[in-house]
Amino acid sequence: MPRTIAAGIGLMEYPFQTTAGFWRWVDLCEQGGVDSIWQNDRLVSRTPVLECMTMLAAVAGRTRRIKFGVNVVGAALRDPLLLAKQCATIDVLSEGRMLPGFGIGSPRGPEWAAMHLDPTTRGRKTDEALEIIARLWKGETLTYAGKHFQLTNASISPLPAQAELPMWIGGSSAAAVRRTAKYGTGWQAGSETPETVGQVIAAIREATAAAGRSIDEDHYGAAFAFRFGNADDPGVTRVMDHYKARTGRDASAHFAIGDAAAIVERIARYIDNGASKFILRPAADGDEDMYTQTRRLVEEVLPRMAERWPRRGKLSRV
């Protein structure tokens, strides 16, 4: 069965100068046919970054069509009962448009030191959190005795609007592959290259088969930053420098910069390696720059995608 290719848009930071500029951008995404909006998770920063769960709740109230998620929320930094409740609440109030994504958090993040947390435990804490969240979403009254989290007779209500609320998992390590095979209904890359994405997808398919599970072919995602124009455009250097500081990666190898054809061809490379869903992040700074970059994505890239990879049959919810 043909895969359903779809493009969402994401924020790495908060590049807007005004609140009005942010909402104008959200309205453009909603009206322009963008599939989904994604927010990065960062609790401690010197640069402006919106708190992800609050931002999604606000976007849910502003929109009626577009879906939204976090790429990805650091489950080891948050209380799993609260996180399960937040996701369920947003899903209910948006009538089933929530796309939760979870990861272990970057070891480079300042949160570990600021919150006096041990980053070496983040994988094990995330595994416990994902089990708790999944069971609460199913309606269990949960008593749980883990090493990192303990609960007694915990439950949430209302349950998510989606009978099977998706659980997208991030990360490309061997542990992330095992985590996805055990808990995930989808996998979302961070800034991995197309070739790395292909290797991780192949590993996840093998691991899910060994576990007696499967993940829908439509539920493998990739992400990259894009820019219509040049790398030396005003403000872009700052965006690329922040990316390198946050990830340790050379931005020039992970950004798609040029025209619509260059962006579509990078998408094609990911599709050839098994990805179907995309989070495209404008490398832009300021209200007008963000709006212009996103408008060009809507007007120049989305139509080319629809022509090259037409949707057939029932549309995917993700």
Over residues 51-64, the pLDDT tens digits come to 999 999 999 999 99
Give the chain's domain count: 1
Please check whether residue 165 lies inside any domain of the structure. yes
Please check whether residue 239 lies inside any domain of the structure. yes
Please check whether residue 316 lies inside any domain of the structure. no
CATH of residue 280's domain is 3.20.20.30
> Which residues pair with residue 221 across a beta bridge?
188, 277
Kind plus residue range of the DSSP H or E element containing 174: helix 174-183
Token digits of residue 212:
């007696």
Token digits of residue 106:
């970057």
pLDDT band for position 206 (cuts 50, 70, 90)? very high
Please check whether residue 314 lies inside any domain of the structure. no
User: pLDDT digit string (tens) for 19-54?
Assistant: 999 999 999 999 999 999 999 999 999 999 999 999
Please check whether residue 228 lies inside any domain of the structure. yes
Q: 257, 182 in Cβ contact below 8 A?
A: no
Please check whether residue 70 lies inside any domain of the structure. yes
Radius of gyration of the chain (CA): 19
Q: Which domain holds residue 191?
A: 6-308
Distances, alpha carbon 241 to alpha carbons 25, 106, 187, 251, 262, in Å: 24, 17, 27, 8, 22
**pLDDT (average), residues 144-161:** 98
Please check whether residue 60 lies inside any domain of the structure. yes
Confidence (pLDDT) at 37: 98
pTM for the full predicted model? 0.92
